[in-house]
């Protein structure tokens, strides 16, 4: 498989163990997760919920003031002084505060550039809380993944699968995480243009390369400390809420039991998953630091 070819199989490690079976609430949560997975749905979380503080948290590069002024001037020329980057009209907000349109325009002319720098910082924070993703691995046998995310090999891993003919649809939903030793940067202009184009799609100032750079820097770049994960991410359009969402064309086809998972947990998973879902096992190689899944 080529480096950027979307995998036919994706794996999602889970952390449930025998202890969770003692709680009716936890048992119900496992059953719900499996039922949703069978329908090609998984839980998406905000960018800010990732376990690595550097993840989805690029360095901020403040753009030159003249460049920001030039962007603001063009934006106002096309949409008016009372338009905001988010698409709302500032006149309504001003009315609530008792400001006249004339007073608002006067204020905006004096402070818009400085406010834009503040806005870009807020947009970064908003994007991290209001955009959701779900993370997968292209590997079902990584020792560290089983150790970190599957309760020290005592839990299980979902296997999601698609057909060869569904590669195009899969590519529109997923992005491959890139690993690097250098933390990515994102500029004031990139942040503002990204926000403008969400509200005004016809603005079109970002090139395809710039859009990819924004997505890569913000969502699809991690430290090379994590390269063993072989991670792929399903992305939801901004804004989006946490919850179960479709990862079609992928659907649950198998559950892999960790090498330390109990027979009690396996029996429960068999009972709730029903027919049509393979149950496989990760086993320890007798001679090498290696796991086998079969």
User: Which residue segment(s) compose the domain that 13 sits in?
Assistant: 9-51+134-185+219-293
Residue 241 lies in a domain: yes
Distance CA 134, CA 47 (A): 9
- Residue 202 in domain: no
Cα 284 from Cα 288, distance rounded (Å): 8
Q: What are the helix and strand counts (H, E) for the chain? A: 9, 14
Q: Structural domain tally of the chain?
A: 1
Q: What is the CA radius of gyration of the chain?
A: 23
Q: Is residue 88 part of a domain?
A: no
Contact 186, 61 (CB under 8 A): yes
Q: What are phi and psi of 239, to 5 degrees?
A: -85, 155
Q: Is residue 254 part of a domain?
A: yes
Rounded CA gap, 20 and 25, in Å? Answer: 9
Who's near 230: CB < 8 A, 6+ residues apart?
Answer: 137, 138, 139, 142
Is 125 part of any domain?
Answer: no
**Residue tagged 């086998």 (tokens):** 292
Q: What DSSP string describes 128-159?
A: HHH-EEEEEES-S--HHHHHHHTTTTTSEEEE
Token pair for residue 24?
A: 């009716």
pLDDT in tens, the chain (294 residues): 345 689 999 999 999 999 999 999 999 999 999 999 999 999 999 999 999 999 999 998 999 989 988 888 888 888 887 777 877 655 555 455 554 555 555 555 546 677 788 888 888 888 888 889 999 999 999 999 999 999 999 999 999 999 999 999 999 999 999 999 999 999 998 888 888 888 888 887 766 666 777 888 889 999 999 999 999 999 987 778 899 999 999 999 999 999 999 999 999 999 999 889 999 999 999 999 999 999
C-alpha span between 146 and 152 (Å, rounded): 6
Measured CA to CA in angstroms, residue 216 lies from 33, 148, 185 at distances of 29, 25, 10
Residue 233 lies in a domain: yes
Asked whether residue 247 is domain-assigned, the answer is: yes
The answer to the question of residue 199 being in a domain is no
16-53 residues labelled b (16+ CB within 10 A) or e (exposed): bbeebbeeeeeeeebeebbebbbebbbebebbbebeee
Torsion of CA 71, 75, 78, 84, to 10 degrees: 180
């Amino acid at each position: 498989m080529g480096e950027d070819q979307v995998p036919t199989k994706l794996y999602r490690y889970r952390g449930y163990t025998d202890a969770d079976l003692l709680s009716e609430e936890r048992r119900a949560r496992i059953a719900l997760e499996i039922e949703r997975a069978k329908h090609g749905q998984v839980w998406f979380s905000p960018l800010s919920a990732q376990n690595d503080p550097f993840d989805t948290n690029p360095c901020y590069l403040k753009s030159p003031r003249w460049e920001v002024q030039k962007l603001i001037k063009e934006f106002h020329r096309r949409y008016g002084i009372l338009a905001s980057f988010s698409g709302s009209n500032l006149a309504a907000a001003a009315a609530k505060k008792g400001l006249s349109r004339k007073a608002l325009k006067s204020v905006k002319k004096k402070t818009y550039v400085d406010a834009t720098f503040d806005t870009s910082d807020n947009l970064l924070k908003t994007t991290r809380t209001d955009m959701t993703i779900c993370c997968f691995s292209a590997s079902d046998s990584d020792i560290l993944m089983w150790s970190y995310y599957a309760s020290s090999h005592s839990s299980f891993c979902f296997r999601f699968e698609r057909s060869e003919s569904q590669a195009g649809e899969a590519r529109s939903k997923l992005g491959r995480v890139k690993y690097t030793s250098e933390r990515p940067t994102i500029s004031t202009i990139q942040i503002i243009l990204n926000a403008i184009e969400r509200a005004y799609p016809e603005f079109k100032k970002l090139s395809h390369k710039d859009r990819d750079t924004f997505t890569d820097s913000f969502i699809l770049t991690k430290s090379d400390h994590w390269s063993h994960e072989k991670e792929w991410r399903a992305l939801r359009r901004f804004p989006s809420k946490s919850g179960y969402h479709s990862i079609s064309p992928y659907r649950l086809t198998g559950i892999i039991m960790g090498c330390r998972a109990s027979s009690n947990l396996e029996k429960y998973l068999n009972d709730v998953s029903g027919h049509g879902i393979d149950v496989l096992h990760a086993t320890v190689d007798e001679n090498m630091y290696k796991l086998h899944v079969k």
